[in-house]
Amino acid sequence: MKKGASTAATAEGVSVPERVIHVPKSISGEAQAALNSVRPTTPPFPELGDKPAWRDLVEKFNANLAETIREQVASIPGRASQETVAGVPVYVAEPESVPAGN
In the beta sheet, which residues pair with residue 79?
94
d(CA 61, CA 70): 14
C-alpha span between 59 and 71 (Å, rounded): 19
Give the residue-averaged pLDDT of 6-13: 66
Residues 6 or more apart whose Cβ sits within 8 Å of residue 54: 46
- What global pTM score does this model have? 0.43
Best-predicted range by mean pLDDT among 10-24, 28-42, 75-89? 75-89
Between 55 and 98, name the one with better pLDDT: 55
Residue 68 CA, distance from chain mean position? 7
